[in-house]
Chain A
């Protein structure tokens, strides 16, 4: 048997109190499988949760698989258990899925930082990170079932096969279901370490890649899916905070007595940046919030005007001292000196807001002795799976129990735990009463954490043949990686490249926003390529074909998109197509077809075609849904969304002044085709969104000969460009 066998004690096997169910538990499954070698820790967890690790099998054949990732619509509640079930050869129709406990030691994966374990649903890395973990775990669960059947029948394990939750011994025609095996389950003395070679080959997959409906969708059509905001507990009270319009300002409450006298008001709690009110009912809390009279201090943001800051950014871009270099290949400066031609352009990008449909909220109950806490929250988890609550309560992490709920959208916003900590502060004060903290939409926008405003200054040079020899990309903005990521060109063959970030800081709250720096930076890069192609009289797709010569996987997406969009055949009168390539884990080329109304500046998108190489596709229909959603969210941000700040104050407060794309502006179709691949799955949640700005701007350039270089492309901006 290949691999390195490990000894596992049989006594670690647990039975339920009733004796009918037997858990293949963390204690039973190999420590390295759950990447925790501390047996004591595992046992502690088992005692606390009773059910833990990855799977539970009962005699009636029901199988429960635990999902360690957040479910925010991206499908982890299906994809991860499906990978497990594939290797286990479980009958999917008998599988149900539950969230795992939020215990990093047991359920963490290495995908974010090698050598560290995290439960962190960010960066579209869940499937990629857990693919090896779930496969191995599933294979080991299957091995336990196989070896138990071998002992039960007294036959060599090598003669056994499995199929849809059954173990089969072909030569004697014996067959037993996984549920039927429960009374005979035993821990093998030796469990193999399932290396990749011992796992199923993609050609043998029957669950991965199949048309499998998502497990949580039935609960999302009858209102029963529970989000944290839906939680109700006996004696629950309600908390709201007023955080003002200027980030970083400190409050002084001037009518405390008046507020205390209001019906239902239980507590007023002062934060550094907010005044909190707890009341018996939500409507009382909200009413009290409206009555607060607060004097706000100045802050770093005072005097900051977002729409006037670009001239300052241009000045920073013009300085000769370089910023922080984030990517360097060859020598761009030398390439520029010897170039035949150079191109330069600035691309700009205003603040945008997450606008997840479920406003931030949490429910926390702290015990009367303040020594334990229960937390219900929709969170993308984090470096700290207890989300900062232990620190606020001054108790050890193991005494905080986090119950992950469905997320009504994440998009990066719920990977920050500010709202959970706020709720912990209120719940500590109100203990043992449970507190539901709700951010109103107004709170969610004005005290939002935005994708930073930025300016991209690109300088590109070509040689006498028109080949790009140097590519310099300078990003100016706040937030480091938040603005600088996604600026590399790993799939274009360009010998000299430089990416640098120059800081500008305004005291505005910032956060990862679906695809982070990719959207503004790909916008700049991909538009620049089209401008050069136009200058050279080359088809923009052919221009990229040349650049991708050494990157066959990227090229395959380009050529597939060319084919599916009918790139070379003319668009109907008044329309044009634009192309963009994006890598974000997976590789994708997108083509859109647009028209523009010259009377009002409105851009209309008719179709989007995407060719995607994401390695093994675990759930094809769900990946398509991610592409659809990514394009729609991209279109929304590119055509409509804009946060503006005047004298440090956020100007938008709800959906009347922060517009989201509605159904009337949906394209007629968004089509996705996958490039066949046996490679490890790559993230798909953030590949489509960054395509949108560049594909639209490139189509606009081909349609009108004019350049859109400032996001968002609101009608008045488009009109101004058309009239230039």
Chain B
């Protein structure tokens, strides 16, 4: 369903080149729940941005395949249709500042050509899932950081995507609510939706991964340092001189 084959990502900054991901290969199956963790700057967001085609992998190296489509060969005009199959929670929320909470969520459905009737029913419903049904008419600026983040979560769910990709979806939320949001993702995963969650909250990951048997992928300096679905990965990583990943204490 999601496959990376020897993917590299180098950012060109105005002063130098910055290798964010190096030779990434992995496969995420349909219906899987995957946590991606790693230190700041490890390449987690970059990994998600490649799936969304917000960033392109280095030319001529590797392939990214989602739903059988090779993203490196996807024509420009097809990109929007590919994106609609994903529901994305951005690390920086990316809400449209001029639209109300309701309209932000509804927008993701409108682009998908969902009828007004369905939109009118579904938007309040997904907002109630994140506890924001009473703030539908506010503008994003009139919400706290955590509330904005929850709107972003609601928007990612609204159009019924096959894959949910969330970048630090609980970064601005207190622990109790974080747990609720994560449980929401777990519930969504139960109906066979693939979920990829990036988070640095190790405690939460350990907790949930142990309980729900989620897969955990650890990124370090642009490499996959560990993957609970594939013990071979960590061995190879260490053999290639990688730094050991701290605190791999959970068990699957």
A, B from the same assembly: no
